[in-house]
Amino acid sequence: MNNSHSASYAAAGVNIEAGYEGVRLMKRHVERTIIPGVVSDLGGFGGLFEPDTTGMNRPVLVSGTDGVGTKQRIAQLMDKHDTVGIDCVAMCVNDIVCCGAKPLFFLDYIAIGKNDPEKVATLVSGVAEGCVQAGCALIGGETAEHPGVMDADDYDLAGFSVGMVDREKVISSSSMREGDVILALPSSGIHSNGYSLVRKVFDVEHGDLSRYCDDLGQTLGEALLTPTIIYVKPVLAAIAAAHVHGISHITGGGFYENLPRCVPDGLCARIEKAAVKIPAIFPMLQKAGNIPERDMFNTYNMGVGMTVIVSRDTADKALDALKAEGCNAYVLGEITAGEEKVVLA
């Protein structure tokens, strides 16, 4: 039993015993994520991981960090906290897999107004689920109680991940050529970007998130809280099966900001706009907010959570590998010569 207790600290609004209870409750979720390489137990000052570098000539560590953003306000309003952890993991691991790295481990950080052990454990359950989907371990984290700074029910969830790839296998746009095929990996909806605009358009603070929408086949709140897809396993399978020349995680900034990040000068990602399979939530958002189409494609993923650019002769192999991992990818466009990095035609 931990005998640590401070009445003075508790009087200031910080309950350290609630923190201990939260750690106890989250342990079963963390245990789901244990993979070979995990060295330390939960609760130490640092998370230890011993990577397996067998077969690698020059192992390179790749890191990524992000948070859930204002999407977590939807979770707070709905009092549903078991999925935003998936978003938190997704926003990190989907970034680092873009260079071909396999995520190894993840750590989270929860700032909360009042430490509710059950709520914290529920948040961590989502993080653990995200780690399971990504094939990485949750080896540590931190919960910080912020009385007087945050409202009691408020929290902010963020984290970071570290992965590894052999230097010679890092995905590089230097191999990209005219005629390469752009594949779309479908999103589950809005994912975790642009929620400040979403909250304004749908007036979530005063609106009815529980109203059922026929076009969505679910309530508005359920649609807005749908977790971000984690693409790690499908993308790694595509890399193993095909010649991958570029990968973009379509996050904030949409097509116009994220596709150019993997396209070299002199080449253009030409997207067939008619080919984009757009989920119903996006037209609903666009109509309700009177948002110009270009702004939609410059803010949201519009149904494309990630793009993978492959050589034309291995495109079918990539599609087969992606579909074998449950990802119904499809052809979105091609790489052409051009000064603009991305064109939607």
pLDDT in tens, 255-271: 999 999 999 999 999 99
Closest CA to 91 of 175, 191, 222: 191
Question: Three-class SS of residue 139?
Answer: strand
CATH 3.90.650.10 maps onto the chain at: 173-344
Rounded-to-integer distance, Cα 282 and Cα 301, Å: 9
Q: What CATH architecture does domain 173-344 belong to?
A: Alpha-Beta Complex (3.90)
Phi-psi label, residue 232: left if phi above 0, alpha if psi -120 to 50, beta otherwise: alpha
End-to-end Cα separation, the chain, in angstroms = 64
The four Cα atoms 249, 187, 245, 99 give a dihedral, to 10 degrees, of 40
| pLDDT grade for 12, boundaries at 50, 70 and 90 | low
* Of 325 and 41, more confident: 325
| pLDDT grade for 1, boundaries at 50, 70 and 90 | very low
For residues 308 and 247, the answer to whether their CB atoms sit within 8 Å is yes
Rounded-to-integer distance, Cα 222 and Cα 211, Å: 10
Mean pLDDT on 328-343: 96
Closest CA to 260 of 192, 344, 329, 189: 344
Mean pLDDT on 28-43: 87
Class of the domain covering 7-169: alpha beta
Position 65, amino acid: T
Backbone angles phi, psi at 286, to 5 degrees: -60, -45
What is the residue-averaged pLDDT of the chain? 93
Rounded-to-integer distance, Cα 244 and Cα 226, Å: 29
CATH 3.30.1330.10 maps onto the chain at: 7-169
Strands 267-271 and 342-344: parallel
**Residue 77, H or E segment:** helix 71-78
pLDDT at residue 139 greater than cutoff 80:
yes
Question: Three-class SS of residue 250?
Answer: coil
**Helix 195-202 crosses helix 281-289 at what angle (to 10 degrees)?**
60
Mean pLDDT on 69-86: 97
Rounded-to-integer distance, Cα 344 and Cα 333, Å: 9
For residues 226 and 303, the answer to whether their CB atoms sit within 8 Å is no
Closest CA to 259 of 314, 298, 286: 298
Closest CA to 239 of 52, 336, 99: 99
Question: Three-class SS of residue 334?
Answer: strand
- pLDDT value, residue 42: 74
Rounded-to-integer distance, Cα 330 and Cα 30, Å: 35
Backbone angles phi, psi at 159, to 5 degrees: -175, 180
| pLDDT grade for 59, boundaries at 50, 70 and 90 | very high
